[in-house]
Amino acid sequence: MEPIIRFENVHYTYPGDELESLCGVSLAIEKGSFVAVLGHNGSGKSTLAKHMNAILVPDEGRVLIEGVDTADEERLLDVRRRVGMVFQNPDNQIVANVVEDDVAFAPENLGVEPAEIRRRVDASLRLVGMYDFRMHAPHLLSGGQKQRVAIAGVIAMQPEIIVLDEPTAMLDPQGRHEVVSTAFSLCRARGMTVVYITHHMDECIDADRLIVMSNGRVAADGTPAEVFANTALMEREGLDVPETVRLLQELRAAGVRLEGEPLAVEPCAELIAQALLKRSRK
């Protein structure tokens, strides 16, 4: 199947910068998958994200969204409609003083019929669980609620892809949980392709795929279990590894036989319990 997002040897340098911020990134992202992106500060995660909806276009190489080249100015709106972007600071992406007016902003820009806009706004707000707040002023909402409004604002464009650039960086644990579970439900229940950029490795555990960026390059790419298993690389990149991975590795080093790579705490506990049971039977 043709991947929904394809990066072909993308190079990009910010105007006035000396160092390349993306140096030869090639990627193919499958439709309907949940892709998490990790990387230290300045590793090029945001630059990567901004290439996905033609906010930035490559100096060299190409980015294709469902086969459409992002450098094609004629198809600019087409690309942007397909790829919804949610940014870190919710305050700086909400454009209206009333929640429902903000959610209507994108479809209004696209020239959608008024009745259809109304329908989409209500549906998007219900989807993120903010329908009851539709008449509220955004600046009085909590961080997690604002971020869900921002997500509703891009869902109203009916995109196939949603890119979230550190959407939880400014939120408390409660807000983080709200946003992460909203992002997962969009992918799992609605079949949207989600690219989720974050600093928190625990938010990546359930992703289909984990990409680690380092100095403008893809340093690792695979399932979360595969990527986290490479603890040496993760340490070099200054990234955390789930405690479960460390525990399993230490147990293995101590000679315990364990099959599989569970990342979440419960299945990991299960695995260890069974292994210990087997041992004691012997």
Ligand X SMILES: Nc1ncnc2c1ncn2[C@@H]1O[C@H](COP(=O)(O)OP(=O)(O)OP(=O)(O)O)[C@@H](O)[C@H]1O
Q: Which residues bind ligand X (CB under 6 A)?
A: 14, 17, 21, 39, 41-47
Assign 214 to helix, strand or coil. Answer: strand
Task: In whole angstroms, give the CA distance from residue 142 to residue 181.
Answer: 16
Per DSSP, helices labelled H in 66-223 are 76-82, 99-109, 114-127, 143-155, 173-190
Which residues, numbered 111-130, are part of the site for other proteins (CB under 8 A)?
A: 111-114, 117-118, 121
Question: What DSSP letter does each residue of 193-220 carry, written as one string?
Answer: EEEEE-S-GGGTTT-SEEEEEETTEEEE
Parallel, antiparallel, or unpaired: how do β-strands 68-69 and 161-165 relate?
unpaired
| Residues 98, 134: Cα–Cα separation, whole Å | 7
98 part of the interface to other proteins, by CB under 8 A: yes
The single residue among 36, 85, 263, 268 that binds other proteins, judged by CB under 8 A, is 85
* By CB under 8 A, residue 108 contacts other proteins: yes
CB of 169 to ligand X, least distance (A): 8
Tell me if 157 contacts other proteins by CB under 8 A: yes
Distance, in Å, from the CA atom of 63 to the CA atom of 4, rounded to the nearest integer, reads: 11
**Contacts to Mg ion from residues 27-56, by CB under 5 A:** 46
CA angle in degrees (0–180, nearest 5) for 47-36-129: 100
Partner whose footprint covers residue 182, from other proteins, ligand X, Mg ion, none (CB < 5 to 8 Å by kind):
none
Q: Are 44 and 216 in contact (CB under 8 A)?
A: yes
Q: Does 8 bind other proteins (CB under 8 A)?
A: no
- Whichever of 83 and 125 has its CB closer to ligand X, that residue is 83
b/e burial code for range 225-252 (CB count within 10 A of at least 16 → b): eebbbbeebbeebebbbbebbeebbebe
Task: Tell whether residue 135 is a contact of other proteins (CB under 8 A).
Answer: yes
Task: Identify which range of 12-20, 109-117, 200-208, 274-282 contacts other proteins by CB under 8 A.
Answer: 109-117
Nearest alpha-carbon partner for 204 in 224, 220, 187: 224
Is beta strand 161-165 parallel, antiparallel or unpaired with respect to 193-197?
parallel
Helix axes 99-109, 143-155, angle to 10 degrees: 30
Work out the number of other CB atoms within 10 angstroms of the CB of residue 267. 13
Asked if 66 interacts with other proteins (CB under 8 A), we say no
Identify what 96 binds: ligand X, other proteins, Mg ion, none; CB under 5 to 8 Å per kind: other proteins
The span of 20-28, 153-161, 204-212, 249-257 binding other proteins (CB under 8 A) equals 153-161
- Given ligand X, other proteins, Mg ion, none, residue 254, with its beta carbon under 5 to 8 Å by kind, binds none
Candidate list 14, 26, 42, 77; residue touching other proteins; CB under 8 A: 77
94 contacts which partner out of other proteins, Mg ion, ligand X, none, CB within 5 to 8 A by kind?
other proteins
Task: Please tell me the distance from the alpha carbon of residue 28 to that of residue 35, in angstroms, as a whole number.
Answer: 11
CB 54, min distance to other proteins, A: 9
Binding to other proteins, residues 36-55 (CB under 8 A): 50, 53, 55
In the complex, the residues that contact other proteins under the rule CB under 8 A are: 50, 53, 55, 77, 80-81, 84-85, 87, 89, 91-98, 100-101, 104-114, 117-118, 121, 135, 137, 139, 153-154, 157
In the complex, the residues that contact Mg ion under the rule CB under 5 A are: 46
